[in-house]
A and B are shown apart, each in its own frame.
Chain A
Amino acid sequence: MDLKDKLLSSFLAFENNVDLNSPVHDVRSEAIKNFETKGFPSKKEEAWKYTSLNNLQKIDFSVFPKQETVLDYKEIKKYFLHEIDTYKIVFVDGVYSSYLSETTHDGVDVCLMSAALTKPQYRQVIDVYFNKVASKDESLTTLNTAFSREGAFIYIPKNKVPKKPIQILHLATGNEAALMLQPRNLVIAEENAEVQVIERHQSLTGNEVLTNSVTEIFAAQDAIVDYYKVQNDLDTASLIDNTYIAQKDRSVVRVHTFSFGGKLTRNNLNYYQNGERIDSTLKGVTILGDKQHVDHHTLVHHAQPNCESHQDYKGVFGDRSTGVFNGKIIVDKIAQKTNAFQQNNNVIISDKATVNTKPQLEIFADDVKCSHGCTIGQLDEDAMFYLQSRGIPKKEARALLMYAFANNVLESVRIPELKARINALIAKKLGVRVGFEL
């Protein structure tokens, strides 16, 4: 049985465990129909030209884990940003771990999607927000919607700021030979609210994991959302991340994606601006080796005047790794005075690595500033000579330059401890022995 058929038949089993009378289930039923019609995307589709899911579909994934596993905090501490106090929403093989988590209802809701989807007090919020910005058409998103039951639910009411950042951690224990996970997150920042979220997926063994995740983020007027994705998984773990963001007037949503590992990672990051003076920031650092593959597909839809978007993705590709960047910017006719900036720079450090990068601008307004630049190159020879002439050997000089190249994306990271961690990860990935604290 192929994966699509397996998922379709699993949906019947899934229905035995959820409330079929809830409006949420109507959404799921619609979604599974879409997936049934469309199936997994193939390389024939333009958006999937460079990323093939064929091999993943041959793997016999378990869709529901059979047993629960208790993990010792000590074993997994390193996957947390443990230097600072945070709220934590932790899932082990897709199942919520209350033992490892720290949720709150103190002025803000940092809790579980399963609770939000079923409890009456969240009904109104779910009616307004659930599946409202996620695509009802894109097959993998609808697949997730069909199975949406668990994930993180974050609701920040008007003028509120949670006491500390929130970490969402998905752990895969390897109890199943191959496991497919479909977390569903919903993040809502109401007017003038502010929130910081760090998300990480981590496999603990060499068993196959496929995660098809959907996150919806809503930022109301003047809200600020910082979302950090840390992707440093094992070479047997694949991730398809579908993030949809809806922004209202003067809101700021910054998504930073740090891709340092995993077998196949696809980031579909979609911004929809529904107001004026919005700031959308999308930044990424990708550092790959081995046969790792990362595909960033971004979309920023400027639908109102006087908004900005800033995209800056940097990639370093070694060994036989492959990278893709496809950045689509749509500026509607009424979206005058849009300022859309897009930059994708790549450095290839091996003969066998490849990068495909493509800006895709669809501009219908006439008074806009849109700049874009995509580069694929080697390290600057003059810069190498400069460092070497100061006594820094070639290998270290190369690493230092790559570090500098990737590092400037970190400027906008607002959690210093996270910045330090990412800095250290970048240095480690690049083998920099710079003789100083990073």
Chain B
Amino acid sequence: MTATALVALNVFRESVRDKVLYNLVVFAVLLIAASYLLGQLTAGQDIKIIKDLGLAAISAFGLAIAVFIGIGLVWKEVEKRSIYSLLSKPISRPQLVLGKYAGILLTLLVNVAVMTAAFYCVLAYMYWMSSPEARAAWLVPAVDPRMLQAVLLIGIELALVTAIALFFSTFSSPFLSTLLTLGLWVIGQFNADFRELGTLLESPAAGWVGRILYYVLPNFAGFDIKAQVVSGTPVSAAYVALMTLYGSVYVALVLVAAVAIFSRRDFK
């Protein structure tokens, strides 16, 4: 097994032993409680609400893991000085950074996969419990495989958030890394507005700045197709593929930057 894979498995083991996966229990309880309560509401709306809630919860729980574990990964290693023994072994600094990243991706993958499975189970249960009249009122099937498109893009978005958190943690404190990562995530939700900056301010210079920001900052809003899949609006496979490619390239660039900074650092 390569050094990178060993580091990744160790990060996953850390997540399991630090009880990170307990969030899955919270997720399951939330969905089951919500489905029970929504059962009392108007037929036709309950399934839509549970879909909205489920996808939003997968995204929010994943985001919390990506940010709060991502920012601590490298920082904790340096702060607690466990890196001293580790780097005296045959492992390079890039391998360490990539291993840490792969480890948290594995944690996220398990999380998202289990949450998605639980989500579909709840939807299947609601379908089974509903009357034929209630089912007829649904505009979109309850157990709709197209929701997997939204889950895939949530996964890509989480991979990018993790890479950004890891990047900041290679040189700053957890508090600052959290602020910067969440700040970028929030800005990334309104990224498209930067393109209109020149028109809004009626200034060619602002237009240039806006366009640069639009292309440089991550476009997180582009990964959000939850509303479309829940309402049954088709999302093309080409768009999903394009966003997957965009996310992957962005992740690669952020990781290259993280490795470059980490490789030059002095661990005083």
A, B in one complex: no
Measuring CB to CB, which residues of chain B are less than 8 angstroms from any residue of chain A?
none
Q: What residues make up the interface of A, taking CB atoms closer than 8 Å to B?
A: none
